[in-house]
Amino acid sequence: MKYALVDGHRHEAAVGLRGVCQACGLPMTPRCGQQRVHHWAHRTANCDKWWERETAWHRDWKNEFPQECQEIRIEGPGGDVHIADVQTPNRTVLEFQHSHLPGDERRSREAFYGPMAWIVDGMRKGSDVITFRSFLSADIPDYGAARGWRLPLRRFPLIDHWISATHPVYLDFGNTNFVGWGLPPMPLLWRISKAPSFRIVVTPFSKQNVIDHFMQGDPLEGFNPLPKPPIRAMDYRAID
Ligand SMILES: [Zn+2]
């Protein structure tokens, strides 16, 4: 974890400090080596069974938000305690998910946190971004309020797994360039959403727009929509 309590205050890991876990109160040890991001570790197993080994990707994401929004202790009505990666001022939880998350655990977390969204690391497996780009290359536009694409019905595990989430899911493909699809060279997040007839639509937003949306309530803007074809039959929404 990034934070532990030192003399009752949240503190980042540093050599020589002694801290306790803000969830369970047990002692934590600062780990400040060369290989991983500096963090606090329980002396035994992590008390939060949902906790994921923290990567630089996680840490970079947390650092996009004010310190007081990062690693927030949340106690459920049954007394369960979990540490949310981020909780925004309006109490929406953001979870940054790098590794595969079994469906039952995803549902448990969604039920526990209530209003939330998932940011999923699309770069964990290099093949996912290659598949994703090849699907965009099929160039099946979505004529929604913002630029988007419909994915072919033949999909891949990353999308198939996350489309059943009940809260918004944004895929993060890092610095992957999508200029060839008429998108600006800036960090993007791709929201996946269900469309009619078992189809899935992916809609890109600037990363900063998504952050401002959750922190300040800014509207999600997306990019200028693709022009609608003159013949309605070409719009897949009319086809069933
Ligand atoms: Zn703990």
Residues 95 and 210 in one domain: yes
Q: How far is the CA of 179 from the centre of ligand 1 (A)?
A: 44
Cα of 33 to ligand 1 centre, how many Å?
Answer: 21
Range of the domain at 212: 53-238
Residues 77 and 33 occupy one common structural domain: no
pLDDT of residue 2: 96
- Contact yes or no for 96/119 (Cβ under 8 A): yes
Find residue 97's DSSP bridge partners: 120
- 135/39 same-domain check: no
Task: Of 5-19, 94-108, 137-151, give the lowest mean pLDDT range.
Answer: 137-151
- pLDDT for residue 66 is more than 80: yes
pLDDT of 104: 95
pLDDT at 239: 62
Mean pLDDT of 189-205: 94
Whether residue 189 is predicted with pLDDT greater than 70 in this model: the reply is yes
Q: Which of 15, 32, 47 is the last residue of a domain?
A: 47
* Residues 199 and 130 grouped into a single domain: yes
* Domain match, 136 and 182 both: yes
pTM of the model: 0.94
Cα 47 to middle of ligand 1, angstroms: 4
Look at residue 4 in the predicted model and tell me its pLDDT: 97
Same domain, 194 and 107: yes
Number of helices (H), then strands (E), in the chain: 5, 14
In this structure, the answer to whether residues 12 and 60 fall within a common structural domain is: no
Structure tokens at 106: 């995803």
| pLDDT tens digit sequence for 80-122 | 999 999 999 999 999 999 999 999 999 999 999 999 999 999 9
Instruction: Supply the pLDDT for residue 228.
Output: 84
Whether the predicted pLDDT of 58 surpasses 70: yes
Is pLDDT at 240 greater than 80 in this prediction?
no
Mean of per-residue pLDDT scores for the chain: 93
* 158 & 126 share domain: yes
What percent of the chain clears pLDDT 90, i.e. is strictly above it?
A: 82
Q: How much distance in Å is there from the Cα of 18 to the middle of ligand 1?
A: 14
What is the whole-number distance in angstroms between the Cα of residue 168 and the centre of ligand 1? 28
144 and 163 housed in the same domain: yes
Rounded to the nearest angstrom, the distance between the alpha carbon of 11 and the centre of ligand 1 is 15
Judge whether residue 180 has pLDDT over 80: yes
How many angstroms is it from 46 CA to the middle of ligand 1?
Answer: 6
| CA of 52 relative to ligand 1 center, distance in Å | 13
118-146: average pLDDT: 93
pLDDT band at 232 (very low <50, low <70, confident <90, very high): low
Is 109 found in the same domain as 40? no
| Residue 85 CA, ligand 1 centroid: distance in Å | 14
82 CA to centre of ligand 1 in angstroms = 9
Banded model confidence at residue 206, pLDDT cuts 50, 70, 90: very high
Residue from 49, 88, 60, 68 nearest 10 by CA? 68
Query: Do 105 and 37 fall within a single domain?
Result: no
Per-residue tokens: 83: 């540490």
- The count of structural domains within the chain is 2
60 CA to centre of ligand 1 in angstroms: 22
How many angstroms does the Cα of residue 161 sit away from the middle of ligand 1?
29
Mean pLDDT of the 27-37 span: 94
Is the pLDDT at 135 greater than 80? The verdict is: yes
Can you tell me which residue has the tokens 């109490």? 91
Residue position matching structure tokens 């290659």:
130
Q: Are residues 89 and 8 in the same domain?
A: no
CA 95 to ligand 1 center in whole angstroms: 18
Q: Which comes out higher in pLDDT, residue 234 or 130?
A: 130
43 CA distance to ligand 1 middle (Å): 9
pLDDT at 9: 96
Q: CA quadruple 195, 197, 198, 201: dihedral positive or negative? A: negative
